[in-house]
Structure 1
């Protein structure tokens, strides 16, 4: 019998092609695309009155998602209502995605009157006269036996492991003071001692989570075992008109640390 070698080779090649084709996975590639451009993102702000401080921040463009950064916190939603405590013109930022890329867009709002009351914590921290603000000092002096700067258990800011300020080793800025005000921004001015000129920073009071965060300037007594490194956020243990008590669970000596302040001049 005569064998057609060329025909058999062609058939074998065809079978191999079919085999490899059958083994190839089917890939359904989907490419992300933008739903709009930045100019097409509409930011809207509603105010309870002309120049009022009850604001509704809204990103009104369908197909766009993200969150609001309103300077004193963030809202993980396209629409949020806030009572803003700072008169003047403020800039709010929406951070989101167009579909294929991220973006930031801002909107300016002018507040002329604080006609919606703030949470009481704001008044306790900066006083009823929010523009003038309020000064805080340590509730004691070095070696007085008082509890105003001390090592505490990580889970108990009232517990005392070592009364550093009241016994032997007050911080270097024990005679300093802190001033908080809302005069155009959330201003924090730190004075290293009674005669020092002030150094300006800023702060964020998170009422919901009961934290106080500093930026640009550190808290008084944030040194030694009372340092928490680069983290400038502190837990609010107590905040009243007459007392500000802060703590951290993770001081540099492997323990918690507690600060107690009272109003000063």
Structure 2
């Protein structure tokens, strides 16, 4: 009998110990600090209709980021920049209300490019950004380097030649051209030959990361290109453009493209 009582006491003691060790969980439920209508986006231009723009999310308690095809993603509530394209521009803010995510946009009308663009834009599309600029392969004489295999992995080796393919086996659009302009949008047109009807697309010049992307059309010489249309800029001046792929999907190597203005 005494043994049974002792056993019960031991079991009861263990139950008290384990119950005392159970954590106390306080459940916290996220709540919205406002609704989407309460999120205020503000856009100001330093001059009326000008292209120097500040966009700002001014509602307290909201966190998020701005995004736009041309300016990319900006992980801050307030951004100031010079926009390169006249016309209506749309900027999207993505953020959290507290308990849920949201997106909201604001439009800005740009009537004049009264603040200078980054020099890369002028080199690519010309000083008359509306009219734009046409580029062709810099073929020159036999043996000239304009479309060739190069080491993969890094643009540092872009001008190292593994195989001068352009000297014997150029792409179908070797005598074609491509046109870039900022007439209401970043417009790109690819011409298979100098007299062919163009295929219209768009381009994105990433000045910070030094990449050039074409969409809905192909880059000149894309027989050695990649489906995503993203090229690393090795050289971009008013008279020369060198683009590079670190891994051509066609050849599995690096590939280099050399252009000049038409």
Q: Common fold, TM-score beyond 0.5?
A: yes
Q: Write the distance in 1 (CA, Å) between the matches of 2:234 and 2:225.
A: 17
| Cα offsets for 1:221-259 (capped at 9, x unmatched) | 122xx223x332111111111111100111233321100
Picking from 242, 245, 253, the partner of 1:245 is: 242
| Cα offsets for 1:12-34 (capped at 9, x unmatched) | 88656534422322323332222
TM-score (norm 1): 0.88
**Partner SS for 1:109:** strand
Unaligned runs of 5+ in 2: none
Shift of 1:9: 10
- What is residue 159 of structure 2 aligned with on the other side? 158
What count of residue pairs does the alignment treat as equivalent? 256
- What is residue 127 of structure 1 aligned with on the other side? 126
**Which sits farther off after the overlay, 16-25 or 214-223?**
16-25
Q: Which runs of 4+ in 1 moved over 4 A?
A: 7-17
Unaligned runs of 5+ in 1: none
- What is residue 149 of structure 1 aligned with on the other side? 147
Structure 2 residue 231 is matched with structure 1 residue 234: yes
- What is residue 93 of structure 2 aligned with on the other side? 94
TM-score (norm 2): 0.89
Shift of 1:195: 2.7
- What is residue 55 of structure 2 aligned with on the other side? 57
Structure 2 residue 195 is matched with structure 1 residue 198: no
Shift of 1:196: 2.1
- What is residue 213 of structure 1 aligned with on the other side? 213
Q: Write the distance in 1 (CA, Å) between the matches of 2:30 and 2:197.
A: 54
Q: Write the distance in 2 (CA, Å) between the matches of 1:190 and 1:100.
A: 47
| Cα offsets for 1:73-119 (capped at 9, x unmatched) | 22111111110011111111111222222211110101111110111
- What is residue 179 of structure 1 aligned with on the other side? 179
| Cα offsets for 1:203-231 (capped at 9, x unmatched) | 111112211111212211122xx223x33
- What is residue 46 of structure 2 aligned with on the other side? 48
